Amino acid sequence: MHAHKMALANLWGEMLPQFNNVAGSLFDYGSSRSFESLFERVKNNPSLAFFAAETRLKESEIRLAKTQQQADIDWSVGIRRNADIDESALVAGFSVPLFAEKRAESAVKSALAARNEITFRQQDFLLRIHTQLYQAYTAREQAITSATTLRQSIIPQLADALTQTKTAYQRGLYSYLDLMGRAQGVSFPGESG
């Protein structure tokens, strides 16, 4: 009994049971929400926020790679002194990297591929969660329908059949063996239905 209480406390997020008795109804299933509203709640999963943060990071890497496609023109100005001939000269220079766009193209493609990979992983995650949630949702709905059918239709009919069998036994129409067999759902040779 203590193990069951411990398991129930653990299910409720507690290490030790903080209760002595538990009361409830097996036939109180709670309110049903639509599948769509449940899936909307799943979209607030922290794992999806992680995908969004990772996507923002990859977008910034794409922007950085695109800035490297543009050639940075470097220039310099200075004075050069030649001590041998006792002269000074003004020197100016500039440099332009050639083919900067071509060199940075692979970095841009790599950054785009990394961002697309995150998008595909996010879509895959959503599809898997959607499938799992739908399976759980339909299993719950089916279980509620089965339990309701049992409670409202099948169990009352079985209880009525058992009452009729007991009454027939009490009137002497069945032997004790017949009563026990009927109560357990066993049919005997020569019986119909």
Q: Which portions of the chain are predicted below pLDDT 70?
A: 69-72, 96-103, 179, 182-193
Per-residue model confidence (pLDDT) at position 50: 82
Q: What is the pLDDT of residues 106-123, one digit of tens each?
A: 777 888 888 888 889 888
Kindly give, in sequence order, each residue whose CB lies less than 8 Å from that of residue 72, ignoring residues fewer than 6 positions away. Answer: 97, 100
Per-residue model confidence (pLDDT) at position 138: 94
Domain boundaries of the chain, sorted by first residue:
34-70+103-176
Residue 167 per-residue DSSP state: H
Kindly give, in sequence order, each residue whose CB lies less than 8 Å from that of residue 22, ignoring residues fewer than 6 positions away. Answer: 8
> Read out DSSP for 95-155?
E--TTHHHHHHHHHHHHHHHHHHHHHHHHHHHHHHHHHHHHHHHHHHHHHHHHHHIIIIIH
pTM, full prediction: 0.55
Q: What is the pLDDT of residues 53-70, one digit of tens each?
A: 888 888 888 888 777 766
> Using only C-alpha atoms, what is the Rg of the chain?
39
